[in-house]
Structure 1
Amino acid sequence: MRAMERIGILVGVFAFLMAGIYGYWTSTTDLGMESVGVTGLILGGLLGFMIAWYLWMTRRKLDRDPADDPLGDIDEIQGEYGFFSPHSWQPLFLAAAAATCFLGLAVGWWLFIIGAFFAIPALVGWTFEYWKGEHAL
């Protein structure tokens, strides 16, 4: 985790440095400083520092991470990664409804409303599919 923290800090420092250089470089033109690029670089730097801060806080609360040991084996990082639904059809229905909504933005609002009509039950179904029934948790 330390290596990922350092990468986040490196991204933050680089983006802030580039924001300063870019702001100075564009301010020498007749049009003045280009603020969108500077703002984007500053936000990118803040994102890098935010990731580094989160990883630092997480590392403080957990035991030693096997990924930090340079002599560690790959099998030391094994463990449970979470629960993944092997049989759910709800993401397919939700993806089709989202595609219909995005197509509705290009074609017309009436198609967006039809997509939203199908997206809401698909989202509710995906959220509550393990609430009760055969596969309830």
Structure 2
Amino acid sequence: MKRTEEALGVLLHRMPDDLPNAISYSVILKSFCDSGRSQLALDLLQMMAKKGADHSPDVVAYNMVIDGFFKEGEVSKACDLFHEMIQQGVVPTVVTYNSVIDALCKARAMDKAEVVLRSMVHNGVHPNTVTYNSLIQGLWDS
């Protein structure tokens, strides 16, 4: 119903602290990102991290906000969040790496995409068809 702020108010002020979990927050994160308000999603993500325990953002939550920033053209914010996610101990998945590599290739930052690819392989995450398609398209467009 596009009433994200109202849903956030219910989540933050009307629900008992032990009831909402990462999944509850993810619904709101997705709504913010889908409506081009990834900075608000980032603010919520950081608040979740401060609360800890069941509220800690997972890789899916980070992926949503990273992808939201990329869709808004905020490549540096997305990359900063990617690095922050890793510092917080959240392990990137192939989806995370693909999102970052694809955006860097589209931004014609092939050198940075290569660094992320090397990190991906070093960390035991196997590139897939999506990874290779992004790299090929990036090389083709260069």
TM-score by length of 1: 0.23
Higher relative contact order (CA 8 A, sep 6+): 1
User: Is the radius of gyration larger for structure 1 or structure 2?
Assistant: 1
TM-score by length of 2: 0.23
